[in-house]
Amino acid sequence: MIQFTEKDGGLTFNVRVVPRASKSEIVGEHDGALKIRLASPPVNGAANAELIKILAKKFDVAKSEVEIISGQTSKQKQVRINGLDSKKLLNLVGG
């Protein structure tokens, strides 16, 4: 199950990214984090930009509402999405 914190109208959770995948997609849950494959390479912030784009589209929020709190240069990241409730996240991974 994905570990998350709901606070101040937003949701904070961990993301595990796999850069340079054949296509960008949300795979599911992995060790308490949301696992996401990204087609972009981890160069010049391309993978982070792709991550923000895919999360904003999937949860139907503006890209400005998605923030990478920690792990900018790591495969393990902590993400905060404003205006998202836990139901949407849990529905996505079947929780």
pLDDT mean across residues, the chain: 94
Distance (Å, whole) CA 32 – CA 3: 5
The residues near 70 (Cβ < 8 Å, ≥ 6 apart) are 77, 78
65-92 residue pLDDT tens: 999 999 999 999 999 999 998 999 988 8
pTM: 0.94
pLDDT of residue 1: 86
Domains of the chain: 4-93 (3.30.1200.10)
- pLDDT for 15 equals 98
- Token code pair at residue 79: 């993400």
Compute the distance between CA of residue 72 and CA of residue 33 in angstroms, rounded to an integer: 16
What is the DSSP pairing of strand 76-82 with strand 33-37? unpaired
Residues of the chain predicted below pLDDT 70 = 95
The continuous run of DSSP H or E covering 59 comes out as: helix 46-59
